[in-house]
Amino acid sequence: MVNEAAHPQDRPARLRVGVVGVGRVGAALAAALARAGHRPVAASGVSEASRARAAELLPDVPLVEPAEVLARAELVLLTVPDDALPDLVRGLAETGAVRPGQLVAHTSGRYGVGVLDPVLRAGGLPLALHPVMTFTGTSVDVQRLGGCAFGVTAPEELRLAAQALVIEMGGEPEWVPEEVRPLYHAALSLGANYLVTLVAQAKELLTAAGVQSPDLMLAPLLGAALDNSLRSGDAALTGPVARGDAGTVAAHVAELRQHAPGMVAGYLAMARTTADRALAQGLLKPELAEDLLDVLADEESAR
């Protein structure tokens, strides 16, 4: 299938686009829609960072109040933090800002379209379009949307509209049922957000060990580990826990207690989870697992 977004010059702009909360995500999505032939007409944002992003990615788009964004736009992107979304939606609906037939899409991973019920009651058309990507707030984000998966939830009659918008932004729609949106989002947070924490901790420990370029040391190792795990799942497990090297794990914990006590709890939790998965997959021999789990239990009780 040919992506129509590759030829915006062949089509007139079809929707006036507004962004409420012109953060990293909102600016990138609006810019991608502009490349597809739509027309960003208004955005809201109060911080200096928001204004800078709007100036870079949405030049000449005026910054106005949220209600005014809805007044000017046919497609509204609500790109605010998850916890702020319900109150924002209620407030916009209660003040009469939502118009019948207006497309209103949020980008939260946590929520489906249920959070947009006030929009639906006001005659609006609700969509949940969550890009599965981390954003920098720069123009590189627009390029990264190419091939990016979007977790999409929409009423049946709006599925084609949701799919078209995602494809025009360069993305690939993945349908996520309303009732499993929190589980879907938990999976993404576990894989991406906590990965950042683990990498940052590894870099800190290598720096403490005297390594001059921890990023260069980690890059090929972590790249290979990620690739292997995506391809093979638990079969890609390696290291002292998967081997049942209880003594090595105990030595690790002793070093962490001395040099980075704040990392001990996380290490123990990940070691126990890894041991359980390795044992279930037959990678960790039961007799070695017993010694390893004893060490982890002793270390846990010593906290």
270 has pLDDT over 60:
yes
Instruction: Return the ∠ at Cα 13 (arms to 11 and 16), rounded to 5°.
Output: 160
Q: Cβ distance 127 to 138 under 8 Å?
A: no
Supply 118's token pair. 């006030």
Q: Look at residue 137 in the predicted model and tell me its pLDDT.
A: 82
261 has pLDDT over 70:
yes
Long-range contact pairs involving 63-69 (C-beta distance under 8 Å, separation at least 24): 63/22, 66/20, 66/92, 66/97, 67/92, 67/95, 67/97, 68/42, 68/44, 69/18, 69/19, 69/20, 69/42, 69/43, 69/44
Element containing residue 206 per DSSP (H, E): helix 194-208
Q: Look at residue 47 in the predicted model and tell me its pLDDT.
A: 83
Instruction: Return the ∠ at Cα 111 (arms to 107 and 117), rounded to 5°.
Output: 100
How far apart CA 236 and CA 238 sit, in angstroms, is 6
How far apart CA 249 and CA 294 sit, in angstroms, is 11
Least confident stretch, 10-24, 63-77, 272-286 = 10-24
Q: Cβ distance 199 to 221 under 8 Å?
A: no
For residue 5, what pLDDT band results from cuts at 50, 70 and 90? very low
- In residues, how long is the chain? 303
| Residue type (1 letter), 88 | L
In this prediction, what percent of the chain has a pLDDT beyond 70? 95
Q: What is the mean pLDDT of the chain?
A: 92
194-208 helix and 264-280 helix, angle to the nearest 10 degrees: 120
Supply 68's token pair. 């005014």
- Each residue of 32-47: b (16+ CB within 10 Å) or e? bbbbbbbbbbbbbbee
Domain ranges, ordered by start, for the chain: 4-176, 184-302
Least confident stretch, 191-200, 217-226, 291-300 = 291-300
How far apart CA 76 and CA 206 sit, in angstroms, is 46
Please compute the mean of the pLDDT values over residues 179-185 and round it to a whole number.
Answer: 97
Please compute the mean of the pLDDT values over residues 147-161 and round it to a whole number.
Answer: 96
State the pTM of this model: 0.86
1 has pLDDT over 60:
no
13 has pLDDT over 50:
no
157 has pLDDT over 80:
yes
Question: In the CATH scheme, what is the homologous superfamily, with its name and number, of domain 4-176?
Answer: NAD(P)-binding Rossmann-like Domain (3.40.50.720)
How far apart CA 65 and CA 44 sit, in angstroms, is 6
pLDDT digits (tens, 9 = 90+) for 95-128: 999 999 999 999 999 999 999 999 999 999 999 9
Name the residue among 106, 101, 66 with its Cα closest to residue 86: 106
